[in-house]
Amino acid sequence: MSDLNQRPLILVTNDDGITAPGIRHLVESVADLGDVVVVAPDSHQSGMGHAITISNILKMSSHDFHMAGVQSYKTSGTPVDCVKLAIYKILKRKPDVLLSGINHGSNSSINVIYSGTMSAAVEGALEGIPSVGFSLCDFAEDADFRASRDVVRSLTKQVIVHGTPKGTCLNVNIPRAAPEDIRGMRVCRQAAGHWADAFEERQAPGGRTYYWMTGSFTDIDRGEDTDEWALRNNYVSVVPVQYDLTAHHAMAELNQWNLDVDP
């Protein structure tokens, strides 16, 4: 994909914030594969989905990532803002690869839709950049990223060679397991899953009620070709994700409706 005469330009972002261990592991895994520029949120931006900052200002400053050759910026924006700032403000040329993560926690199944990590990758794909979001199925700050680093490195090499299928980015989830227990990577589809939400009520010191969203996830999909199945069986799941949201197969059904506009 990239010009053979120059090292690939690798843009890195995440949604856990620039100081999260996951993004450091990501950068360390690929630092020798190209020139790395990090543009990431200055704070936690999990669950931000494809949010962009259009009704407020954005702040940005350079950041010391303490790694030789790695240029780094932090912003007050969402992960998607970071990608836009990188492409339209910071970088002199279009990146050859965009890597987002490594997220602390799974973005498999329907979680892809809420994920800031994956929305950054989708935004990269929209810009025609081969883009991958990586997530480790472990929320812990001190999670074991050894297997993740091998996965990131192996897959990034493939993306540098092949690009990504047209109109897609990749959603890569890594099971919580030691490197020797990982059984390989599998191309999967997004499992049908559902969050049953709940809202915990609390009282503020003044007496007013407020809420914390909690919830529990259920995989309702019995297929063995899904990301959830792969992760349960210690495979890395690789799902191609598209930004054309049209349900093309549903158009014929809608064309049978009465679509007159009656006053």
Name which of residues 2 to 31 contact a second copy (CB under 8 A). none
What Rg, from alpha-carbon coordinates, does the chain have? 20
* Residues in region 101-120 near a second copy by CB under 8 A: 110, 112-114, 119
Of 68 and 88, the one with the shorter C-beta distance to a second copy is 88
Of 4 and 250, the one with the shorter C-beta distance to a second copy is 250
Of 68 and 122, the one with the shorter C-beta distance to a second copy is 122
- For the chain, the straight-line distance linking the first and the last C-alpha, in angstroms and rounded, comes to 54
* Residues in region 44-63 near a second copy by CB under 8 A: 44, 46-55, 57-60
* Residues in region 121-150 near a second copy by CB under 8 A: 122, 126, 147, 150
Min. distance of Cβ 77 from a second copy in angstroms?
8
Instruction: Tell me if 236 contacts a second copy by CB under 8 A.
Output: yes
Q: Binding residue for a second copy (CB under 8 A) from 4, 64, 88, 206?
A: 88
* Residues in region 240-259 near a second copy by CB under 8 A: 240-251, 253-255, 257-259
Cα distances from 54 to residues 86, 129, 208, in angstroms, run: 16, 23, 30
What distance in Å separates the CA atoms of residue 47 and residue 31, rounded to the nearest whole number?
27
Instruction: Tell me if 187 contacts a second copy by CB under 8 A.
Output: yes
Got the DSSP string for 180-229? GG---EEE-BPP-EEEEEEEEEEE-TTS-EEEEEEEEEEE----SSBHHH
Contacts of 159 (CB under 8 A, 6+ apart): 1, 97, 130, 132, 170
Q: Binding residue for a second copy (CB under 8 A) from 7, 33, 176, 189?
A: 189
- The closest of 136, 177, 168, 172 to 154, measured between CA atoms, is 172
Instruction: Tell me if 216 contacts a second copy by CB under 8 A.
Output: no
